[in-house]
Amino acid sequence: MADLRTSIGKLELANPVMTASGTFGYGTEFADFVDLNRLGGIIVKGTTLHHREGNPYPRMAETPSGMLNAVGLQNKGVDYFCEHIYPTIKDYKTNMIVNVSGSAIEDYVATAERINALEAIPAIELNISCPNVKQGGMAFGVTAKGAEEVVRAVRAAYDKTLIVKLSPNVTDITEIARAAEAAGADSVSLINTLLGMAIDAERRRPVLSTVTGGMSGPAVKPIALRMVWQVAKAVKIPVVGLGGITNGTDAIEFMLAGASAIEVGTANFIDPAVTGKIIDEINAYLDRHGISSVRDIIGALEI
Amino acid sequence: MKKYILDLKVRETVAVGKQFVLLRLTDSEPLPEMLPGQFVEVRVDNTPSVLLRRPISIHYYNKENNELGLLVQLIGDGTRWMATLKAGDTLNVVLPLGNGFTLPTSTDESPLLVGGGVGVAPLLYLGMKLKEMGVTPTFLLGSRTENELMQIDEFKKYGPVYITTENGAVGEKGYVTQHSVLANNKFSQVYTCGPKPMMMAVARWAKSANVPCEVSLENKMACGVGACLCCVEDTKEGNVCVCKEGPVFSIDKLSWQI
């Protein structure tokens, strides 16, 4: 049994496996399938200052080895989260991390302040990269200046671990990562979904109500891996890797590229018990290679 | 209800007409309890174009012979793969998912079960449960032509069966909502599953006749457990997940214009 412990700045994880926001609900939806206490972390559904209804149906399209979604941050707002959901998740022995989204800097700050007061939430993941919200986080996530402004403002209001989730829909993701680092982020996570589109040729109409949506799943993995590798070289803060991870080997690949931890997203839909298996498979890989600690493979790619 | 991920064993794959198969599944352990109206998510293997599980309603669950029946319409690569399964093959399913139909509270009730196309599937298990309770269900099943009618003899085991076809080949010609059984009988509640325009027409009829009505929706879904928020239906309480809050809804809760 190898030592699977890793860390994201001062946040300690029992193992590198976390769940990606929007794919695992609040964790409790998966409690019949996975021992939630075994996970390195659970990043719960994107939370905004106010209640959001999200986009109209249809919100999903399956694509070869992937899917598009256009949920649009449906959630009941941070007050509802604090009063009704937090009490049901606070006692799990995993890192419960809240994904914070918004469309104005003041909203991000107000939401982060509310979450800061919750003792059992040791970190937030700042979503400056959701592709499905009009004038949404994407505006911040696609320019270095926008990213720096919002991260700086939230940093001033939030004193626990601040992870900034980056959009791949940019010319140079390393530039945005460096801006987040300069503004005080403890870590960056990447990639959020890639902007995509699906058309129903028979009906001559888009499949999604929003026309375009965010693509995820195994099809995006090579792009995610490349971006994690580039960002890990560009910043000193720890990187969290995600994008199409469906098994232990995928997770190892992201860590070799430089990720200190990983998130599993779309794969939860295909196998609701996959996260537990990925932990076991990482351990088996380390044992097979005679590596005593998972930390030894972070950025250990040989070129 | 606790949910399970199970590797079920295929007992038999039975062709039902040209467009459907019946998968008879079992397990070495007793299958978990399942309610009429609930569904399962089937994992599709060895098909590169299919990533997500396929939601399939429970056609029947028979405790005595530990068997789960799934009636599958062959629509795309995923469902066609299911049709290739043979006795002894394994099928990975997550079950039971969603909420079932609200069962009557007294044996005096006279429910009407209206199905169209593959939407007839969950109504068989509902009919079985009703009969078991001492309630006689009336089935009203509709299809475009005689070719899409299926399992009629199975339905007849549990109650009278009325049929409409749009071409008039079997039963009365027209839509289910035009069948004379609606005018000539009084029903205590209506359960319906099928194409959305049909369910809306049934809901409109039930509302005008002042009969409570439940519909089973099949919005496109991914996770099946209320996590991804893809399969939402607009209700009087806002967008809710069909997989978790449904798939069965009282028409009073939906924001349908009926």
Average pLDDT of chain B to the nearest whole number: 96
The CATH number of whichever domain residue B20 belongs to comes to 2.40.30.10
- Residue B122 confidence (pLDDT): 98
- Cis? peptide before A58, omega within 30° of 0: yes
Helix then strand then coil, in percent of chain B rounded to 5, is 20, 35, 45
Supply A251's token pair. Answer: 């997770």
With b for 16 or more beta-carbon neighbours within 10 A and e for fewer, the B128-164 pattern comes to bbbeeeebebbbbbbbeeeebbbbeebbeebbebbbb
A36: Cβ–Cβ under 8 A, 6 or more apart, which residues? A27, A28, A30, A42, A92, A94
Beta bridge partners of A162: A124
Looking at the structure, tell me whether residues B121 and B77 fall in a common domain.
Answer: no
User: What's the confidence (pLDDT) of residue B18?
Assistant: 84
Q: Evaluate whether residue B8 is within a structural domain.
A: yes
Taking the Cβ of residue A54 and every Cβ of chain B, the question of whether any pair is shorter than 8 Å is answered with yes
**Considering the domain boundaries, does residue B252 fall inside one?**
no
Query: Is B50 near chain A, with CB under 8 Å?
Result: yes
What pLDDT is recorded for position A134?
55
B224 touches A: beta carbon within 8 Å: yes
How large a percentage of chain A has pLDDT more than 90?
94
Mean pLDDT in residue range B23-44: 98
Same domain, B88 and B53: yes
Q: Which residue has the tokens 């899917």?
A: A67
How do residues A138-151 score in pLDDT, each as one tens digit? 678 889 999 999 99
Residues B140 and B211 in one domain: yes
- As a whole number, mean pLDDT of residues A15-27 equals 98
- Do residues A214 and A131 lie in contact, with contact meaning Cβ atoms separated by under 8 Å? yes
Assigned domain for B163 exists: yes
Kindly state whether residues B212 and B126 are assigned to the same domain.
yes
Predicted confidence at residue A141, as pLDDT, reads 84
Task: Tell whether B256 is within 8 A of chain A (Cβ).
Answer: no
Q: Which residues contact A171 (CB under 8 A, 6 or more apart)?
A: none
Is residue B6 over pLDDT 90? yes
**Does pLDDT of A93 surpass 80?**
yes
Measured torsion, CA atoms of residues A13, A15, A19, A25, in degrees rounded to the nearest 10: -70
Do B115 and B82 share a structural domain? no
Alpha helices in B25-151 (DSSP H): 77-83, 121-133
Nearest CA among A273, A277, A245 for reference residue A261: A245
Domain presence at residue B138: yes
Segment A210-218 shows an average pLDDT of: 96
SS3 for A178-205, per residue?
Answer: HHHHHCCCCEEEECCCEEEECEECCCCE
Could you give the CA distance from residue B70 to residue B89 in angstroms, rounded to a whole number? Answer: 15
- Mean pLDDT value of segment A197-206: 97
User: How is residue A1 written in tokens?
Assistant: 């049994």
Q: Is residue B237 part of a domain?
A: no
Name the residues of A annotated as catalytic: 130
Would you say residue B92 lies in a domain?
yes
Q: What is the pLDDT of residue A103?
A: 85
Residues A295/A252, Cβ–Cβ less than 8 Å? no
Contact A32, A86 (CB under 8 A): no
Report whether the peptide linkage leading into residue B247 is cis, meaning its omega lies within 30 degrees of zero.
yes
Asked whether the beta carbons of residue A33 and residue B51 sit closer than 8 angstroms, the reply is: no
Mean pLDDT of A33-55: 97
pLDDT in tens, B62-74: 999 999 999 999 9
pTM of the model: 0.95
Residue B39: domain span: 4-97
> Is the Cβ pair A23, B49 closer than 8 Å?
no
In a domain, B234, yes or no: no
Residues B59 and B37 in one domain: yes
As a whole number, mean pLDDT of residues A270-283 equals: 98
> Sign (positive/negative) of CA torsion A22, A25, A31, A33?
negative
Q: How many domains does chain B have?
A: 2
- Which residues does chain A have within 8 Å of residue B52's beta carbon, measured at their own beta carbons? 62, 67, 269-270
User: A31: number of CA atoms within 13 Å, CB side?
Assistant: 12
pLDDT of residue B30: 98
The pLDDT of residue A137 is: 52
Residue of B226, B231, B234 lying closest to A25 (CB–CB): B226
Query: Considering just the CA atoms, what is the radius of gyration of chain B in Å?
Result: 18
pLDDT one-digit tens code per residue, B191-205: 999 999 999 999 999
Beta bridge partners of A161: A123
Closest residue to B220, CB basis, from A22, A56, A60: A60
Residue A200 · residue A44 · CB < 8 Å: no
pLDDT band of residue B45 (cuts 50, 70, 90) is confident
Q: Is residue B3 over pLDDT 70?
A: yes
Mean pLDDT of B167-181: 96
Residue B30 inside a domain? The answer is yes
Q: Is the pLDDT of residue B222 over 70?
A: yes
**Helix (H/G/I), strand (E/B), else coil: B92:** strand
Identify the helix (H) or strand (E) that includes residue A144.
Answer: helix A144-157
Same domain for B208 and B118?
A: yes
Would you state the torsion angle of the CA atoms of residues A252, A257, A258, A263, taken in this order, to the nearest 10 degrees?
Answer: -50
Predicted pLDDT of residue B93:
98
Whether B10 and B82 map to the same domain: the answer is yes
Checking if the pLDDT of A135 tops 60, the result is no
List pLDDT tens digits, range B13-30.
999 988 999 999 999 999
Candidate from B51, B223, B225 with C-beta closest to A66: B51
Mean pLDDT, range A124-142, rounded to an integer: 74
Say whether A57 and B231 touch across the interface (CB within 8 A).
Answer: yes
In this prediction, residue A258 carries a pLDDT of 98
B11 plus B57 within the same structural domain: yes
Structure-token match 């009429």, residue found: B36
pLDDT for residue A130 is more than 80: no
Cα-trace Rg, chain A: 18
- CATH number for position B174: 3.40.50.80
Please give the single-letter amino acid code of residue A229: W
- Are B48 and B140 in a shared domain? no
Domains of chain A: 6-48+72-195+216-297 (3.20.20.70)
Q: Can you tell me the distance from the alpha carbon of B52 to that of B70, in angstroms, rounded to the nearest whole number?
A: 18
* Structure token pair of residue A280: 């076991």
Question: In this predicted structure, what is the pLDDT of residue A41?
Answer: 98
**Are A69 and B51 in contact (CB < 8 Å)?**
no
* Residues pairing with B115 in the sheet: B141, B193
Question: Which value does ipTM take for this structure?
Answer: 0.94
Mean pLDDT, chain A, whole residue set: 96
Query: Which chain B residues are closer than 8 Å to A54 by Cβ?
Result: 229, 232, 239
pLDDT tens column, B99-115: 999 999 999 999 999 99
Question: Helices A144-157 and A105-116: crossing angle, nearest 10°?
Answer: 30
In 3D space, the residue among B153, B139, B147, B194 whose CA is nearest the CA of residue B169 turns out to be B147
Which of left, alpha, beta for B171 (phi over 0: left; psi -120 to 50: alpha)?
A: left
Amino acid, res. A254 = F
Same domain? For B146 and B59 the reply is no
Asked whether the beta carbons of residue A62 and residue B50 sit closer than 8 angstroms, the reply is: yes
* Lowest-pLDDT choice from A124-128, B14-18, B45-49, B234-238: B45-49
The answer to whether residues B37 and B76 belong to one domain is yes
* For range B207-213, the mean pLDDT: 96
- A179 CA: distance to closest CA in chain B (Å): 30
Residue A283 confidence (pLDDT) above 90? yes
**In this predicted structure, what is the pLDDT of residue A139?**
73
Pull the structure tokens for residue B4.
Answer: 């399970």
What does the pLDDT average to over A92-110?
A: 95
